[in-house]
Amino acid sequence: MKFICEKNKLQEAISVTQKAVTGKSAMPILQGLLIDASEGKITITGSDIDLSIETKIDANIIENGKVVVDARLFGDIVRKLPNSSIEISSATDNSIEIICEKTKFNLIHMSADDFPVLPSIDEKNIFSIEQKLLKNMIRGTIFAIAQEESRPILTGVLVEIKDGRINLVALDGYRLALKSEAIDSDGSIKAVIPGKTLNEVVKILEDEGVVNITFTSNHILINLGDTKIISRLLEGEFIKYTSIIPEEYSLKITVERNKILNCIERASLVAKEGNTNLIKFDINDEFMVLTSNSQLGNVREELNIILQGEPLQIAFNAKYMIDLLKIMDEEEIYMEFSSSVSPCVVKNKQDDNCTYLVLPVRLLNN
């Protein structure tokens, strides 16, 4: 193997593919990146078996070949090299030689034969979506996935394509996040993508361009052109989320998102210390009162609202409200309530592309 490539391109390729290398694997080969030089390109691949990322960059290939090198060390070395051409070649003693200007590294490599083979996916049925839109949808839902492994399916995000729409749904038993957008496709799909995969995908997606997505029964392929992301899907049936979202309400308020977020964040400073992080809403005619207390003190916040319906007292875990209010993007939002023991539904005032739901905390005097 021998090739010459530009430092910047190589550094970027390493940075993208490293995202699939967890560094926690017991298998040393999975701490590595596969470098494959052939056909005028080098292909760099990182994998933890569940998630694999490969990316191609142009290079002057002098001799085909492939090796596996330690991802972190190789990445650190390339990042520190001068901004110039880099020549990489196999040396005799299980090492590669990296030459850049007056710097020469010899780096032990592992055998490319031991590197996991990526599943081959036939890109027949492709869904196309704007990278920016997909990134936005993932960010708008992923915070609501379950952190515990007790119900593995809930550690992923449901992707549902049907009737010309794409829906992303995450829920953890206490709250639900749904983002929905039109998609130019008459296909239909239902798959659950691991949260870990989507966390990395969000970092790779850019603000421009389109991404092509292919599903198989076990895998998703996200194709960005030079970069391909392949992840296994989570097995099992996702919860029928539509039945959870209430269609009616007895109270609807309009409120400025930033103002209620500030109120809840402040109130939770006192509540956090009591470990309940409980915040109470007392919703009245023209304003709502938010209160919270712990052994350290108490707080009372007053907020102007527009109210339609009956006054209500209800309590929430402040964290769940803060999470969704932070991620929403419109300045004015609706909050819909049915009773003090029914979920609260939060929506944008204008765009109906998202629905958030939070279960209340039942108080002793309810």
Would you tell me which residues interact with its own copies (CB under 8 A)?
A: 70, 73, 76-77, 80-82, 95, 102-108, 262-263, 265-266, 269-270, 273, 295-303
Q: Which is nearer to its own copies, 264 or 346 (CB)?
A: 264
Q: Which is nearer to its own copies, 296 or 306 (CB)?
A: 296
Question: Rounded to the nearest whole angstrom, what is the least distance from the CB of residue 301 to its own copies in the complex?
Answer: 5
Which one, of 128, 179, 124, 174, lies nearest residue 157 by Cα? 179
Question: Rounded to the nearest whole angstrom, what is the least distance from the CB of residue 82 to its own copies in the complex?
Answer: 7
Q: Which is nearer to its own copies, 76 or 235 (CB)?
A: 76
Question: Rounded to the nearest whole angstrom, what is the least distance from the CB of residue 262 to its own copies in the complex?
Answer: 7
Helices (H), the chain: 7-17, 71-80, 131-142, 195-204, 257-273, 318-327
Residues 6+ apart with CB under 8 A from 350: 330, 332
* CA–CA dist 301, 344 (Å, integer): 20
Q: Which is nearer to its own copies, 164 or 297 (CB)?
A: 297
Q: Which is nearer to its own copies, 82 or 311 (CB)?
A: 82
Look at the chain and count its residues. Answer: 366
Q: Is 28 helix (H, G, I), strand (E, B) or coil?
A: helix
* CA–CA dist 242, 227 (Å, integer): 34
Structure tokens at 268: 């939770």
- Contact (CB, 8 A) for 54 and 17: yes
The alpha carbon of 254 is separated from its chain's Cα centroid by a whole number of angstroms, namely 29
Residues 6+ apart with CB under 8 A from 307: 251, 252, 253, 283, 284, 285, 286
Question: Rounded to the nearest whole angstrom, what is the least distance from the CB of residue 281 to its own copies in the complex?
Answer: 15
Q: Which is nearer to its own copies, 89 or 340 (CB)?
A: 89
Question: Rounded to the nearest whole angstrom, what is the least distance from the CB of residue 234 to its own copies in the complex?
Answer: 36
Helices (H), 206-317: 257-273
Q: Which is nearer to its own copies, 51 or 325 (CB)?
A: 325
Q: Which is nearer to its own copies, 64 or 304 (CB)?
A: 304
Question: Rounded to the nearest whole angstrom, what is the least distance from the CB of residue 47 to its own copies in the complex?
Answer: 21
* CA–CA dist 132, 183 (Å, integer): 14
Structure tokens at 183: 């998609």
Question: Rounded to the nearest whole angstrom, what is the least distance from the CB of residue 270 to its own copies in the complex?
Answer: 7
The alpha carbon of 147 is separated from its chain's Cα centroid by a whole number of angstroms, namely 13
